[in-house]
Structure 1
């Protein structure tokens, strides 16, 4: 389902960039470091590192060649490069990086503990590992929560595809435990809240037609009459401001820790 960067950006990428900027600043990695962006996707975290952390270099890793192509086309800083690889088998020597980070990726990795262990392996002693995920389980990602609430009301079987059901890692406790279980010390977690306003209903609905992610994939599989019914239910249910915009918010859980000396 992750195949088109142009479709991902209006769906989730535009909001991930807001979280990435705050996430990177909070890590407080000294300037001049070497970074690894695991599951870099279209490059949101890499761009945040370049803008806020004064790195010596950043290497983004992702298994999707389409997403890597998008990142290369939109990130022109010579300090950044992008390579195709899997999160559970990073193509880096151990102990070489100052920081390894991952935004919105670990819930899509079947072996998340192995991916976390790989991130720990590639940072030097005292180096930092940081990750963040949307809060699906407690409804913090309101745009997607509204979609699944409407979908489940029309089709109870849709619940098994809901990220809140499929991704138990997306909580403060689970994410912190993952990093602690990978051997990191001084593990801290925090919430990052960002506004996710939509100009109108079309601005909300159209990105779901791009096929990028569980909800758009579910929508693409529906026959036209059921898709229309879901659209109508959502259009009636979403909140509206006086100017017709849709004022939603999102919450991400972030966790970070240091590799022991």
Structure 2
């Protein structure tokens, strides 16, 4: 989903808005798509991306604009002082942070009073057409595949749980809204090839299949997709974006 995640990051920061010269923090930055979007579109005073994976941090540092900085850190215990940032964001990472409530509480601690805490996650259950069609096809052939379906595994990635997570961290004026992008593939092979990479739950599942079972899945998925007269496949991807503010005058939990 990398080619689409960059577009979602751009739409997310455009909607957040805010004046130039803000101090931004991106937690769980991965390879830096959201950090780069902030650096290029928001005219920040500073933007810092943090991730617990040294490999991701190295990749982000190599690809991001020169104004962005990166460091290795755990989102559940940020090595940062209280109220150090004007905005704290996270893209497509919240459902992988353990525990997510602690990460959001830390985000609320390091943002200034009145500052914004915002994140977005894929709508695995209903809004990711490609993955929905894939897992529907896989479970029709192999019911055991349902245990790997992100729509079942990541119950957090829905409006209700996201809103509860933000309000539970003491944030106010909480809103949840969809971000939708078209995902158009030039043909079925363009869509199918990433499933052979072995990276991620769906490709990882494909890698476990025998050649015969893999071909059955390929055929079943191809039959379930809407194909245009020119052979292209037009689908859509939806993310849920949640945002809130640290109450004005709130005091953060001081780190020892």
Query: Shorter chain as normaliser: what TM range?
Result: over 0.9
* Cα distance between partner residues in 2 of 1:108 and 1:226: 30
Within a 5 Å distance, the mapping from 1:96-245 to structure 2 comes to 96-137=84-125, 139-245=126-232
CA-atom RMSD in angstroms: 1.3
Work out whether residues 82 and 109 of structure 2, in 8 Å CA contact, stay in contact via their aligned partners in 1.
Answer: yes
Gaps of 5+ in 2: 249-256
Work out whether residues 105 and 133 of structure 1, in 8 Å CA contact, stay in contact via their aligned partners in 2.
Answer: yes
Secondary structure at the aligned position of 2:74 is classed as coil
Distance verdict in 2 for CA 1:169–1:33, change over 3 Å = same
* Cα distance between partner residues in 1 of 2:220 and 2:56: 32
Determine which structure has more spread, i.e. the larger CA radius of gyration.
2
Secondary structure at the aligned position of 1:196 is classed as strand
Secondary structure at the aligned position of 2:234 is classed as coil
How many residue pairs end up in the alignment? 248
Match of 2:44 among 44, 55, 59: 55
How much has 1:253 moved relative to structure 2?
0.6
* Cα distance between partner residues in 2 of 1:40 and 1:220: 27
Work out whether residues 29 and 99 of structure 1, in 8 Å CA contact, stay in contact via their aligned partners in 2.
Answer: no
Could you tell me which residue of structure 1 aligns to residue 55 of structure 2?
A: 66
Secondary structure at the aligned position of 1:247 is classed as strand
Secondary structure at the aligned position of 1:93 is classed as coil
TM-score when normalising by structure 2: 0.93
Could you tell me which residue of structure 2 aligns to residue 8 of structure 1?
A: none
* Cα distance between partner residues in 2 of 1:86 and 1:231: 38
After superposition, the C-alpha distances for 1:24-81 in whole angstroms (9 at most, x for unaligned) are 1111222101111111111111111112211011111112222222212211x23201
* Cα distance between partner residues in 2 of 1:200 and 1:86: 40
Work out whether residues 76 and 98 of structure 2, in 8 Å CA contact, stay in contact via their aligned partners in 1.
Answer: no
Q: Which moved more, 1:194-203 or 1:77-86?
A: 77-86
Where do 4+ consecutive residues of structure 1 move more than 3 Å?
none
* Cα distance between partner residues in 1 of 2:70 and 2:206: 31
Could you tell me which residue of structure 2 aligns to residue 43 of structure 1?
A: 32
Work out whether residues 20 and 45 of structure 1, in 8 Å CA contact, stay in contact via their aligned partners in 2.
Answer: yes
* Cα distance between partner residues in 2 of 1:181 and 1:203: 42
TM-score when normalising by structure 1: 0.91
* Cα distance between partner residues in 2 of 1:42 and 1:212: 15
Secondary structure at the aligned position of 1:205 is classed as helix
